[in-house]
Structure 1
């Protein structure tokens, strides 16, 4: 009988899959190393086992101990599998920009999850780097993994991932392209491949808001480059020791939008349901196309599974809110498609101002049309409401008709963007669109701005 003694023995030997549709403009063979086939659904399973093996061997991790790590989610999952099999406790410190799916999955496999703010300096006591270190100091019989500086991270890919690539390509690999976060994957694979063939080129995929590309090209750590970004799993605001810049031939940066769009395209056009960093990697590879020749064998690594981004990149509403969804907006009805199925929030002339205030708060909106038995007769805007309140503190008990502004203009569902834009100005904050069923909906400045790509 053939079987694994435990789930850890199923890690590795992931397939190499030809990319056929997205890379038609690249005159080379493009293969993807699809790491979602690991039991924890990511490349991080490999180094999680290696880091724990080495920590057990030298006594840093003792029986029954607690493993503590700052993670974007995938390393935490790999560590959780080992912790379960070998009897350790696990605390994962994660930033609040990571997907809810990642947090839920970590809790599902027994990890305690501590969530920290993203938009703080690494040295800030609230950052997930600082919180991880503090928890390790405060927790008895614990071990802080520190994947960023832990040499076992890169060593796992030198010993496992790279030899697999060499064997699977029969030694014909000419380029390796991968997103860079902790640096373990790119550095470990690069060291092995370049030892086998010094002509192999290794390219890192970076994101805007990260320091890697500029530092590699200039040696300058530019803090002005650091800002919050959406793409998960790649890029850093620090320089991890595992990033060996001497082994990397170059970096290319990919925008949040392109990473998200190409993540979805991989699923729709290749049938490969992988994560956000894979979208960044395939777009980065396309940006590098001039570096490839017809006989080249280009391998791009896909880190993790699309299941961890169902509420984000694979959610139309999430994509649309950020202007990432490639939809053509040309007329009034296009602007309200996100909330067309929801009833229009209104107030009546004889209701009290307090009722309007309550609806503004409850629905988190800024404008409300006012109606009476004849139809739309006025409007309430939060800015005018605030001004009226400053002048008269008893305004909440007055009827709406005493403070309402002019009614919003009404346009047809087919009204053009140009027509709508002319109607929305400093004196008029919204328009109403009349739908085919006779109902009305509201278009605000926010709707128009959100449609701008």
Structure 2
């Protein structure tokens, strides 16, 4: 029997047709189940790729401690992959990070440091400057982030759909997913639309709309792993054809619908992605196929978006059934 290592399980995730969401005959929504990667999120792809590049470039060795800032999923990926290599890791997370995500990161042996949401991103670079044995992954500026999606996820989506794709819809935090996947798809077919699903309170949509005061649109929102309060170097804004805004209620309501109607346990950004994909599908004429991704698992949010008490506390108690 051949031996399979955990890292070999990254990628080749299933693509499913969300049959209960088709708005009209001949218009379909398909979703890539990225939560079926080893740590329960698509971030396994980019971290495996970026660490490999770091090793190849001589930046990572047996004495390296990997440092990163993460809303949770990237941190879990760093912690898992570092542990399989016998390396230490330090992860900075925002204070809105779910208890489950923090517990998962710690379970892989990483040190977790919680900082305020608006400032946590600056601490990994500060920490990395303390020692030459620290290596900052820097997912928000590392060009290998979108390249990883171009090389893996983008290719898989094209192959899964046999090239029959009219639009790709995805939220952006670092922007690596949308940038990398859309580049791959558009190289194969320039007519494919790249659509950004952005939470209200993120700066991406107002920035893309040309608003000079885009930073004034920053507001708090509860969906994790989507949207940003600053622009990231890994986000290719030129590749975006359209931006659709969603709010916490729309995203979380869709998460519950996916669980009850499709049997898919996904996180909040997945709900935002699918809600936006449905909005796109409603205005398309058959035949048409829209593809999106479910970035992480709903099991990472049992204390939040699947918790009736938490929903009531954030004003979404009406979603409890």
TM range (shorter): over 0.9
CA contact under 8 A between 2:178 and 2:196: conserved in structure 1?
A: yes
The change in CA–CA distance for 1:62 and 1:254 in structure 2 (over 3 A counts) is same
Unmatched 5+ stretches in structure 1? 121-126, 329-453
For residues 259-311 of structure 1, what are the alpha-carbon distances to aligned partners after superposition, in whole Å with 9 as ceiling and x for unaligned?
11111111111100011101111111223234422111111101000011000
Among residues 140, 159, 171, which one is paired with 1:167 in the alignment? 159
The number of aligned residues is 320
Structure-to-structure mapping, 1:122-201, within 5 angstroms: 127-201=119-193
Partner of 1:240: 232
Partner of 1:213: 205
Distance in 2, Cα, partners of 1:154 & 1:264: 30
Unmatched 5+ stretches in structure 2? none
Distance in 2, Cα, partners of 1:208 & 1:161: 26
Distance in 2, Cα, partners of 1:209 & 1:327: 21
Distance in 2, Cα, partners of 1:247 & 1:221: 22
- Tell me how far 1:107 sits from its aligned partner: 0.5
Distance in 2, Cα, partners of 1:85 & 1:247: 35
Partner of 2:287: 295
Which secondary structure does the structure 2 equivalent of 1:299 belong to? Answer: strand
The change in CA–CA distance for 1:53 and 1:293 in structure 2 (over 3 A counts) is same
CA contact under 8 A between 1:166 and 1:193: conserved in structure 2?
A: yes
Higher Rg: 1
The change in CA–CA distance for 1:288 and 1:220 in structure 2 (over 3 A counts) is farther
- Tell me how far 1:23 sits from its aligned partner: 3.5
Partner of 2:10: 11
The change in CA–CA distance for 1:160 and 1:323 in structure 2 (over 3 A counts) is same
Distance in 2, Cα, partners of 1:231 & 1:26: 31
- Tell me how far 1:140 sits from its aligned partner: 4.3
The change in CA–CA distance for 1:282 and 1:325 in structure 2 (over 3 A counts) is farther
Highest RCO, 1 vs 2 (Cα 8 Å, sep ≥ 6):
2
User: What is the RMSD computed on CA atoms of the aligned residues?
Assistant: 1.6
CA contact under 8 A between 1:67 and 1:91: conserved in structure 2?
A: yes
CA contact under 8 A between 1:181 and 1:236: conserved in structure 2?
A: yes
Partner of 2:82: 83
Distance in 2, Cα, partners of 1:26 & 1:286: 13
The change in CA–CA distance for 1:265 and 1:233 in structure 2 (over 3 A counts) is same
Distance in 1, Cα, partners of 2:52 & 2:212: 36
- Give the TM-score taking structure 2 as reference length: 0.96
- Give the TM-score taking structure 1 as reference length: 0.68
